[in-house]
Amino acid sequence: MLKVNPSSGYPPEEGRYIRGNDFSPVVVAIILNFPDYKIPHEHHELVQAGIDGGAALSGMVQTENIGIEKIVCNVVSNPNIRYLVVGGPESEGHLTGEALKAFLLNGLDVRRHIIGTKAPVPLLLNLPDAYIDRFRKQLSLIDLQYQGDPKLLKNAVLACCQDNNIGPFPEHPLSGVINWRVTQPWTEPTDEKEREARKRVEELQKRLRERTKKSL
């Protein structure tokens, strides 16, 4: 099957991942539920199993917002990637695995909130719509979450790599990074009530600033 070159500068976003074969059709996302200094050996084994199986990128993701946005940027910059393998446990505080799978399957609502997840802050606010649409069109999901078996994950990646019925996504790579318009998505209002409350606070702050200027 004919392969294509990723965009220049691929992969554009840094992260906790290993780069493998750029022409592989697989990206592996292991859900991380530990701080950096406590990452268990089993997580690293799963990441390495993805690379041993031939993945393009294999790494860990911890958050249900910026973490997912980084994956999106790296995937859409390489049209060869056609499968997303999700592994590892769940992140109890973030529900990142649930959010990532729901995003791929269901997309976003008008608030850019991932549909079908109970994750606390599943907001993707730093990506163009084209990246969102492309990611969901480009990938198929292989759900191995909760399995915890490196050999199973490696074999799943191998099977995807041997699929001769799927080639690169038939469009040019999208090259770009997170725009960081929102660096703390957990502070963003999630409904109309919260937006109105924030608006009132901002108006009050504006009046106070103007009053301070007049008194100087």
| pTM of the complete model | 0.84
Question: Do residues 115 and 69 share a domain?
Answer: yes
Question: Do residues 131 and 163 share a domain?
Answer: yes
Burial 43-80 (b: 16+ CB within 10 A, else e): bebbbbbbbbbbbbbbbbbbbbbbbbbbbbbbbbbbbb
Residue 4 domain-assigned (yes or no): no
Q: What pLDDT is attached to residue 165? A: 87
Question: Do residues 64 and 125 share a domain?
Answer: yes
Domain residues for 91?
A: 17-183
Residue 129 domain-assigned (yes or no): yes
Question: Do residues 111 and 216 share a domain?
Answer: no
- Count Cα atoms within 13 angstroms, Cβ side, for 179: 9
Report whether pLDDT(209) > 80: no
Residue 6 domain-assigned (yes or no): no
The Cα–Cα gap between 141 and 160 comes to 11
Find the mean pLDDT for residues 92-113.
96
121's tokens: 């802050």
Question: Do residues 192 and 174 share a domain?
Answer: no
Residue 2 domain-assigned (yes or no): no
pLDDT digits (tens, 9 = 90+) for 53-84: 999 999 999 999 999 999 999 999 999 999 99
Question: Do residues 138 and 205 share a domain?
Answer: no
pLDDT digits (tens, 9 = 90+) for 26-37: 999 999 999 889
The Cα–Cα gap between 28 and 128 comes to 23
Binned at pLDDT 50, 70 and 90, residue 188 comes out as low
Domains of the chain: total: 2
